[in-house]
Amino acid sequence: MAYVSIYLNFMGNAEEAFNHYKKVFKTEFSAPLMRMGDMPPREGTPALSEAEKKMVMHVSMPILGGTLIMATDMLESMGHKLVEGNNFTISLNPDTKEEADRLYKELSEGGSDAVPPHDEFWGYWGTCKDRFGIRWMFNVMKQ
């Protein structure tokens, strides 16, 4: 079933923030926390330091009214820099790749920072910033 979530970016303290949010919302992580070190190595990208391997690649939890918040730690070694405005993304999780492609095409028109949806080890993923400056992510999880 398709759903929408809010994706948050942190600079090394995503785990601390989400442990705090667990207490605030009296909830639990939706799935085990994934670390950067869990990611398969990618050709052409630098190796992660031991500290970076411990950072959060992905975490999620339900909060109020069925809303799901998710997060990652940004990596300075990959050129990521947290500034107000790039610390959140609206994550669309449609049921099909075709719907992800349609949403991406329409939301990325006139925008920037676009990565067209493509297959990743966890599913079909892409992202863009629309012409109004809002960041969107598209995820179709592997079944």
Would you kindly state where each structural domain of the chain is located, as residue ranges? 3-38+48-141
The mean pLDDT of 80-96, rounded to a whole number, is 83
Q: Are 99 and 107 in contact (CB under 8 A)?
A: no
Task: Find the mean pLDDT for residues 97-124.
Answer: 94
Asked whether 45 and 78 are in contact (CB, 8 A), the reply is yes
At 82 the pLDDT is: 77
**Mean pLDDT throughout 63-87?**
83
Q: What is the mean pLDDT of residues 57-83?
A: 87
Instruction: Render pLDDT for 21-68 as a digit per residue (tens, 0 to 9).
Output: 999 889 999 999 999 999 888 888 888 999 999 999 999 999 878 889
Task: Report residue 76's pLDDT band, with 50, 70 and 90 as the boundaries.
Answer: confident
- Under a CB-based contact definition with an 8 Å cutoff, are residues 109 and 90 in contact? no
Specify the fold of 3-38+48-141: 2,3-Dihydroxybiphenyl 1,2-Dioxygenase; domain 1 (3.10.180)
Residue with tokens 């993304």: 89
pLDDT of the residue at 32? 94
Confidence (pLDDT) at 47:
87
The answer to whether 111 and 129 have CB atoms below 8 angstroms apart is yes
Residue 103 to residues 36, 52, 95, Cα–Cα distance (Å): 28, 32, 12
Q: Per-residue pLDDT for 138 more than 90?
A: yes
35/134: higher pLDDT: 35
* Mean pLDDT over the full length of the chain: 90
110 contacts 131 by C-beta, under 8 angstroms: yes
